[in-house]
Chains A and B, each alone.
Chain A
Amino acid sequence: MVTTTLDDLREGQRGRVVEIQGSDSLSARLMEMGLIPGEVVEMLGQAPMGDPVEYLVVGYRLSLRRAEARRVWIERA
């Protein structure tokens, strides 16, 4: 099991959320949107200019910038 951050996932790859780094309003918002420890996240694709990235999480599509995805620690599934 390799621990990495969400922005490392490539298209079609999945990971399980381990931890959200920080306790500021950004990390709270990420968690409210469903990125909580234990959830499986799939990378769906990226915007034409490489950023932001589209993820599938708790059954819906969420867009995050790479800088934000870097706050989410995952283990590859």
Chain B
Amino acid sequence: MATRSKSELSATVALIGNPNTGKSSLFNALSGGQARVGNYPGVTVEHKTARMQFGRDKQRIIELVDLPGTYSLSARSADEAVSVEVLSGEMPGVSRPDAVIVILDATNIERNLYLLSQVLELKIPTLVALNMWDRIEAEGISIDPNALSKSLGVPVVCTSASNRQGIPELHLALESLLESPTLGILASEKLASASFPEAFHRSVDELSQWFETQGVSLPRFQIERLLIDDAQGHSYRVIPKGRAHEIAERILESRKSLGAQGIAIPLFETRARYGWIKQQVAGVIERKPRDRKNTASDWIDRWLTHRWVGLLFFFLLMFFIFQSITRIADWPMQGIEFASGWLGDLVKGMLPPGPLESLLSDGIVAGVGSVLVFLPQIAILFFFIAILEDCGYMSRAAFMMDKFMSAIGMSGKSFLPLMSSFACAIPGIMATRTIENRRDRMVTLLIAPLMSCSARWPVYVLMVSAFVPNRTYLGGWVGLQGAVLFGMMCLGALVAIPVAWLLKRFVFPGEPSTFIMELSSYKWPSLRVVAMRVWERILAFLARAGSLIFLTSVLIWAAAYFPGDHSQLDRTVAQLRAEASQPSPDESKLESLETQVNQQRSELISQSYLGKAGHWIEPVVRPLGWDGKIGIAVLASFPAREVIVATLGTIYSLGADQDESSQGLVQQLRSATWPDGRAVYSLATACSIMVFFALCAQCVSTLVTIRRETNSWRWPIFSFVYMTSLAYIGAWIVYNIMSMW
């Protein structure tokens, strides 16, 4: 297929809406899911775009820009300011949208119209997607879409994005809107701002003239926002940073003079807009009076947020999820393990002994394979998270946890980012954007990496399956291994509580937080949405396994292989293989060859770069109960913690006995010994490793994300230092306490 040139790009279309309106489903349905995600320059707001083909012969290409989910276009938050700038065509790299699709939740139309009333004032051709159309009947609502379109003065299409209804109609409506844009622009006198007080308009005129004399060209809508929102004058990028203070002074002056004229800022705006909304929906929407106690959603809600039943359900659910992950994932994990072992043997059988054979089987297959094994667990965890999010339980979890979370210095809104961090801190840290309060957001963001992310699973699972006895209690329902895993899962979260308290007390003293949140209605989770999210996560994990982990595996292999003359070893291995393939191999000869191979291997690995680093690091890690090999594996896993499994896989595969290399890593760890013959790994050592991994900041991607989200290197450095110190101290304490038994 020929690549399309940029000149064929015929239009840019923006998509905007409240949170929980099904905006991402609609974005995926419109674009086919081929999204590109980045950040807007200079701010921490996500920039998500996709190309969609359209027209009868799919000739035209439209760039679809997904704007952050917001309730309003005020200048108070970065998300909202960016949306205004994209819609006004001021965002570098995004051309001014030729049209905007405003997505409204049909079951909650009044509040959703608030955002629309603001978008209409930007005078961009506007199209309304009335989403969740399939659910209004169950909610006892009837809406006449034609009357709504007539009343609003812009085209309205009914959609149900989660099951892809109304998408062709939306395409058609967008096409005709792009052909005749005036269909989607309202006359000024029909806008909500027409009913703003005259004095306000005059004040905006004056400010506008003042901005001109200052050489700052700012659209009228943005001047209105600055005047209403009291955003200290630095919300928009066209405002020179050095002038913000001066501009804020001038705006304050206007606010004062309006106040003196009896205009209540910001009340007059919300009042005018809700007044406008009432006019728009009069005679268009009808709500059947209903006994709210009897709707299914209310009944479910009563129990799920109940004082005891709700909390009990919440904790049982969390426990169930983590138990299922260990149990359901078992079968596919064994499959992947088997496949990786088979591939390694295949490579060994096809290639003569040498660097290439060793790189492929010991480096790449052993390294990447031992990380891939955890894909089923990650998929299952994300499957549960996606279901909880999509059915509406996540916001209830935030609601129930708020009191508890606020006691430790955060809000219930911190719950979702922290819960997501149990899968991966990166989406969790990015999700802290929904927390408006800066102090809450910073504390949440800094403790998010302490949550037990899925990359820690491989370490826990490896250590637990190797060193924790497989006992079950309560008739086989509660396994000791599962319970230890659950405990490791909770450890980071428990440590996070005092850390959050300290951060709040000493690093971010300041104003209290708020908890203004919509509790969206319960619905059946859409399989498509859930599958899409799980798939995105799997791809992201595979991309990581394919790049960072692959690279580290190769580097670690090289460090363990070089320098050193392997020619003697290769000859011995070739002899051994030749002897073993004889119809009747000489047992005693085989045995002596095997002993030679083992001796040569351990000599080579102790001469290697990795072996030398191991001797150097051993005194540092000895207090934690580790030997040099563990020290090296931990050192190598600072870029990405799951690498430790691959590293251990490579180290033990290279240095292992011929017999053992065909067994799993678990067996190799169990039989590892100190030079004096004592086993390296005891339960205390295994726990010390797990605690270290639970608390340490071993993830470059997380640190980079913190840098991006806070726009400063200060916080990633802070996170790295505090977490690594915590990990070392924690591991030391655990090792010493457990060694006393």
Contacts and interface: CB of A to CB of B under 8 A. Distances in A.
Contacts of A25: 76, 229-230
Interface residues of B, number: 49
Contacts of B305: 45, 47-48, 54
Contact of A27 (B228, B266, B399): B266
B512 to A, nearest CB: 7
B518 interface: yes
A39 B311 CA distance: 32
B71 A32 contact: yes
B514 A52 contact: no
B310 A48 contact: yes
Interface in B470-490: none
B402 A65 contact: yes
Contacts of A30: 516
Contacts of B399: 47, 52, 54, 63
A20 B517 contact: no
Dominant secondary structure of chain A at its interface with chain B? mixed
Contact of B270 (A31, A50, A56, A67): A31
Nearest to B515: A65
Interface string A49-68: 11110101011111111011
Given A27-B266, A51-B403, A68-B514, A59 B110 contact: yes
B265 interface: yes
A77 to B, nearest CB: 15
B111 interface: yes
A23 B290 CA distance: 35
Contacts of B406: 65
A59 to B, nearest CB: 6
Nearest to A55: B519
A58 B514 contact: no
Given A52-B403, A62-B519, A64-B515, A36 B292 contact: no
A51 B633 CA distance: 47
A66 B575 CA distance: 79
Contacts of A44: 292, 298, 301
Contact of B308 (A48, A54, A62): A48
Contacts of B107: 59-60
Interface string A34-45: 101101000011
Interface string B268-293: 00110010000000000001000010
A50 B305 CA distance: 11
Interface string B514-526: 1111111100000
A24 B402 CA distance: 23
B311 A45 contact: no
B292 A56 contact: yes
Contacts of A32: 71-72, 74, 114, 270
A47 B308 CA distance: 10
Nearest to A60: B108
Interface of B: 71-72, 74, 76, 107-111, 114, 228-230, 264-267, 270-271, 274, 287, 292, 298, 301-302, 305-308, 310-311, 395, 399-400, 402-404, 406, 412, 436, 512, 514-521
Interface of A: 20, 23-34, 36-37, 39, 44-45, 47-52, 54, 56, 58-65, 67-68
Given A28-B266, A61-B518, 18 more contacts: A27-B267, A28-B229, A29-B76, A29-B514, A32-B71, A32-B72, A33-B111, A36-B271, A36-B274, A37-B267, A48-B311, A49-B400, A50-B403, A52-B515, A54-B301, A59-B111, A63-B402, A63-B516
